[in-house]
Amino acid sequence: MFYREAGDFKTSYREDSQTFPIKFDRLRFYAVLAIAFGVIPLFINDYWANAVAVPFLIYAIAAIGLNILVGYAGQVSLGTGGFMAVGAYAVYKLMTAFPEVSVFIHVLLAGGITALVGVLFGLPSLRIKGFYLAVATLAAQFFLVWLFNKVPWFYNYSASGQINAPDRTIFGVFVTGAQTSATAKYMFCLVMLTIVAVLARNLTRGTIGRKWMAIRDMDIAAEIIGVNPLTTKMTAFAVSSFFIGIAGALFFAVYLGAAEVGESFGIQKSFLILFMVIIGGLGSIFGSFAGAAFLVLLPVFLKNVLVGMLGWPTDLAAHIELMIVGALIVIFLIAEPHGLAQLWRVAKEKLRLWPFPH
């Protein structure tokens, strides 16, 4: 058997409730961390950083944030792009106003500012739900994009209306700006993703996570047993927006370097993150990673195959990509609503029982 569980005993509740109760899973997790932190930085170049690694890390943070709100708390949101824009413009204003402060602190503060905005737009969830809440968050998306376009203070009265990330360093190494290396971009985003993932995992399996899931499953029953819907929904919006704000700050400062709100954080960005959560699996941290990896790697794969190998036009390959993503969303919603995460869980269970059929 691939999973060696003989002799893997638990002698305390703490051991039994840990994230990876099986020793094989823990060793695999440590191996992935070792490769991510120790091996990939030695070989990564600008192409792989800009095309695959950095977008995956940033989108994984955003997907984790949206998954907390949609998957764990059951609150529909279509305003992810707008909240990412809040994080981007917040970190821009902080970087230009306080150049002596570390950009790491700026990114965290941008997440905090986004959390406050998220709570503000999450207030309608106390009275409405489902489709009506989706429309309310969609209104937040359009309002935030309009606000950042129409108020020149947000982009420091630039004639072009763009925001440009200034050069900033951490421990003497550039992590934003034109002088940033591929390794620095990758490591900064990887550290932020690791912090977010650990924090999200511990929140979702703790008391606050159980409250979120109680509200998601049946809010009236949850209120009867003592769950406060006000604080529970607001904390879900705050934590989700905090992570999404961090993703938006990294997307602007580290990945893009320059951004215009309508192009970089439009409605298509909200749907992209939502598709990642749906394909990866609602209510799963691993699903957020899987969905982000799938939708980041799919365009690269199709471009290399359709354009590079078959010689098809680039616009045709882009349309085929949209068709494939749409078909996959329909298939997952019908055949496997829990997405890639559930397929991974089923595969793990089969490996644990192999070679026995039952």
Q: Helix (H) and strand (E) counts for the chain? A: 17, 4
* pLDDT reported for residue 355: 67
Angstrom distance (rounded) from CA 302 to CA 299: 5
Q: Whose structure tokens read 């029953």? A: 221
* pLDDT reported for residue 105: 95
**What percentage of the chain reaches a pLDDT higher than 70?**
97
Token pair recorded at residue 176: 């934003």
Convert the pLDDT of each residue in 346-358 to its tens digit: 888 787 777 666 5
Token pair recorded at residue 290: 């899987």
Mean pLDDT of the chain: 89
298 contacts: CB under 8 Å, gap ≥ 6? 321, 324, 325
Q: What's the pTM?
A: 0.93
The answer to whether 232 and 218 have CB atoms below 8 angstroms apart is no
Range among 154-158, 190-194, 205-209, 308-312 rated most confident: 190-194
Convert the pLDDT of each residue in 16-44 to its tens digit: 777 777 777 888 889 999 999 999 999 99
pLDDT at 172 over 80: yes
251 contacts: CB under 8 Å, gap ≥ 6? 58, 62, 84, 87, 88, 259, 264
Angstrom distance (rounded) from CA 40 to CA 106: 26
Lowest mean pLDDT among 41-45, 100-104, 205-209, 350-354: 350-354
Angstrom distance (rounded) from CA 89 to CA 258: 11
The answer to whether 254 and 54 have CB atoms below 8 angstroms apart is yes
Q: Which tops the pLDDT comparison, 126 or 31?
A: 31
